[in-house]
Each structure stands twice: as structure tokens, then as C-alpha cells.
């Protein structure tokens, strides 16, 4: 490989710029001082204890988990239907229908949130976690469809026909052949939707009606300087959580590819 010092330097700078702020989180989360400033003043776990004992925070985390799990499940299920239909069947109006499903991907989230708020209020539907889930499913489904479409596309059509030919019904064919082979795609879709939902702010703020939701709660806490260190502790926990999640997703993806005998190309890690 050729040496290119400028490109190498640029890459290093880019990565540093990207990740060093995140690295500051754990550094200050374990720092004794309430102020985020060097020099560091000694190691402490106080902020983690304070975080864990914050009842509101625990509520917010619980709500966020409920929302993220629901959104990931719903979006992925909807994504399976849409992706399967778009890859496998031809029907009138398919192209405009698929573009409409994908549209929220490029639509400003602000507009989606405002529009939904107006509609929900005029329909007298009370704002709750449920309305947040509804709004976030709208945002996440396009991601699920995009991931799952490529999973379904890489499936050889004659595998299905072979299963039918060997006496299986369309449903048992789906269960025994299609589902196991697109499982890595389903896992990927679930994890991505979970992540998107978990740190989503605009819809959570607009449609949450003041219910504690993690992203909104964190934003609110930053107004109080005394709360900042425990938020940094929370951030540290979330970073660790993300890394574990990503590692798991990558493990599942590689196992899926190895199982199907495919060639590994790309991936996250």
C-alpha cells in the first residue's frame, strides 16, 4: 500500500474530532468536581449512585425502553410485510406506494411531529407514550423497509419454489425457509429502529405530553448545573450499552452470513 501522510493525518484528525467529545463523558463522569474542567480532581462513583437513585430518571428510562422496544418491533414487522410485498409481488400502484412508505426518510421530522400533533389533538386523542410510538414508527419504518428489502432481495426465489415443490404450504415455506434466511436482516432492522427510537427527541417532545422520556429528560436536566455530572454518568452508561448492542448485532450478522455460506462484505465492526 502506498503511503499518503496527508490522507492519514486527515483521517486521524477526523476520528479524533468525532470521538474525543464522547471520550470526555466517562472522564468527567468519574471526576469528583461538579464543574467540567481540567485538571481532574480524583476518582468517584458518586454521580453513578446519584443517577441510579433518581426516580424520575428511572421512570424516563423505563418509558424510553417501552417506546423503543415497541417501535422496533412494530417497524420491523411492518417492514417485513412491505419488503416482502415489494420484492416478491407485482401490483398496481406499487412504485408510488413504496415511495410514500419511504418518504418520511427525507421529510423533516419537525413537520411530521407538528402534523401528527394537530391531527391527534383535533381527533381528541390524548397524548401518551402510545402517540409517541405511533409517530416514531412512521419515522423508523422506512429504515426497516430499506434494510429488509435488501435481505429479501438476496434470497433466491427458487428456494421458495423448492420448498413448495417438496410439499410445504406457502406459510410453512415462509416459516422454515424464508424467515431463517432473512433473520440477520430482521435483527439488523430491529436494532437500528431501537437505536433511532431511543435517542429520538422531536416526536418524543411533541407527542409525549410531558411524560418523562429519556431524551427529553436529559435535555431538561442540562438546565441545572448540579445535575450535569449525573447526566454524564448516564451518558457513559448509554455509550457502553450502545457498544454492547452493536457488538451483538455484528455477531448475529456474521453468524447469519456464515450459516448461509455467504461471503462477508461490509458490516459495522
Partner 1 sequence: MTFSDDRPTMIEFKDVHKYYGDYHALRGINGSIRAGEFFSLLGPSGCGKTTLLRTIAGFEDISSGVIMIDGKDMVGVAANVRPTNMVFQSYAIFPHMTVEENVGFGLRKDPRSKEDKARAVAEALEMVGLKGFGKRAAHALSGGQRQRVALARALILKPKVLLLDEPLSALDKKMREHMQVELIKLQRQVGITFILVTHDQEEALVMSDRIAVMFEGEIAQLADPETLYRRPATRKVADFIGTMNFIPAEILSESGDAVEVEAKGLGRVALDIAQAPAKTGETPVVGLRPETLTLLYDDQKAPERETDGVIDEVIYFGDMTYYDVYLGGTDVEVRLSMRNVPGRPVLDVGTKVRVAWSPSALVLFR
Q: What is the dihedral of CA 177, 254, 263, 268, to 10 degrees?
A: 130
In the bound state with partner 1, the residue whose beta carbon lies nearer, of 32 and 165, is 165
Q: Does 175 bind partner 1 (CB under 8 A)?
A: no
Chain mean position to CA 14? 24
Comparing CA positions, the residue from 44, 25, 39 lying closest to residue 231 is 25
Q: Does 88 bind partner 1 (CB under 8 A)?
A: no
Among 126, 158, 224, 268, binds partner 1 (CB under 8 A): 158
In the bound state with partner 1, the residue whose beta carbon lies nearer, of 146 and 164, is 164
Q: Does 261 bind partner 1 (CB under 8 A)?
A: yes
Among 44, 69, 130, 168, binds partner 1 (CB under 8 A): 168
Cα separations in angstroms, 215 against 63, 68, 137, 219, 234 = 11, 12, 17, 6, 11
Q: Does 177 bind partner 1 (CB under 8 A)?
A: yes
Q: How far is the CB of 191 from partner 1 (least distance, A)?
A: 21
Interacting stretch for partner 1, rule CB under 8 A, among 1-9, 66-74, 127-135, 177-185? 177-185
**What span, in angstroms and rounded, lies between the C-alpha atoms of 87 and 179?**
15
Q: Does 164 bind partner 1 (CB under 8 A)?
A: yes
The size of the interface with partner 1 (CB under 8 A), counted in residues, is 19
In the bound state with partner 1, the residue whose beta carbon lies nearer, of 2 and 156, is 156
**Dihedral sign for Cα atoms in the order 179, 189, 79, 82:** negative
Helix (H, G, I), strand (E, B) or coil at 43: strand
Among 1, 166, 226, 265, binds partner 1 (CB under 8 A): 166
DSSP 226: G
CB 35 within 8 A of CB 153: no
In the bound state with partner 1, the residue whose beta carbon lies nearer, of 62 and 259, is 259
CB atoms within 10 A of CB 158: 9
Interacting stretch for partner 1, rule CB under 8 A, among 4-12, 162-170, 191-199, 236-244? 162-170
> Bridge-partner residues for 43, per DSSP?
31
Provide the binding-site residues for partner 1, judged by CB under 8 A.
156, 158-159, 161-169, 177, 180-181, 259-262
Amino acid at each position: 500500500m502506498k503511503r499518503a501522510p496527508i490522507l492519514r493525518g486527515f483521517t486521524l484528525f477526523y476520528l479524533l474530532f468525532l470521538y474525543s467529545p464522547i471520550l470526555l463523558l466517562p472522564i468527567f463522569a468519574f471526576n469528583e468536581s461538579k464543574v467540567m474542567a481540567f485538571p481532574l480532581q480524583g476518582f468517584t462513583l458518586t454521580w453513578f449512585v446519584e443517577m441510579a437513585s433518581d426516580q424520575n430518571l428511572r421512570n424516563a428510562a423505563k418509558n424510553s425502553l417501552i417506546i423503543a422496544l415497541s417501535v422496533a418491533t412494530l417497524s420491523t414487522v411492518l417492514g417485513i410485510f412491505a419488503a416482502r410485498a415489494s420484492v416478491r409481488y407485482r401490483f398496481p400502484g406499487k412504485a408510488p406506494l413504496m415511495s410514500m412508505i419511504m418518504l418520511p426518510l427525507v421529510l423533516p421530522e419537525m413537520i411530521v411531529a407538528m402534523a401528527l400533533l394537530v391531527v391527534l389533538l383535533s381527533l381528541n386523542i390524548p397524548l401518551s407514550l402510545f402517540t409517541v410510538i405511533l409517530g416514531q414508527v412512521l419515522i423508523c419504518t422506512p429504515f426497516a423497509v430499506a434494510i429488509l428489502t435488501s435481505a429479501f432481495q438476496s434470497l433466491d426465489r427458487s428456494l421458495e419454489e423448492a420448498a413448495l415443490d417438496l410439499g410445504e404450504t406457502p406459510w410453512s415455506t415462509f416459516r422454515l425457509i424464508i424467515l431463517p434466511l432473512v433473520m440477520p436482516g430482521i435483527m439488523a432492522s430491529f436494532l437500528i429502529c431501537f437505536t433511532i427510537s431511543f435517542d429520538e427527541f422531536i416526536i418524543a417532545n411533541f407527542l409525549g405530553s410531558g411524560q418523562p422520556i429519556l431524551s427529553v429528560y436529559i435535555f431538561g436536566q442540562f438546565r441545572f448545573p448540579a445535575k450535569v455530572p449525573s447526566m454524564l454518568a448516564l451518558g457513559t452508561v448509554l455509550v457502553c450499552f450502545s457498544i454492547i448492542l452493536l457488538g451483538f448485532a455484528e455477531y448475529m450478522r456474521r453468524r447469519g452470513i456464515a450459516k448461509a455460506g455467504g461471503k462477508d462484505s461490509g458490516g459495522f465492526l
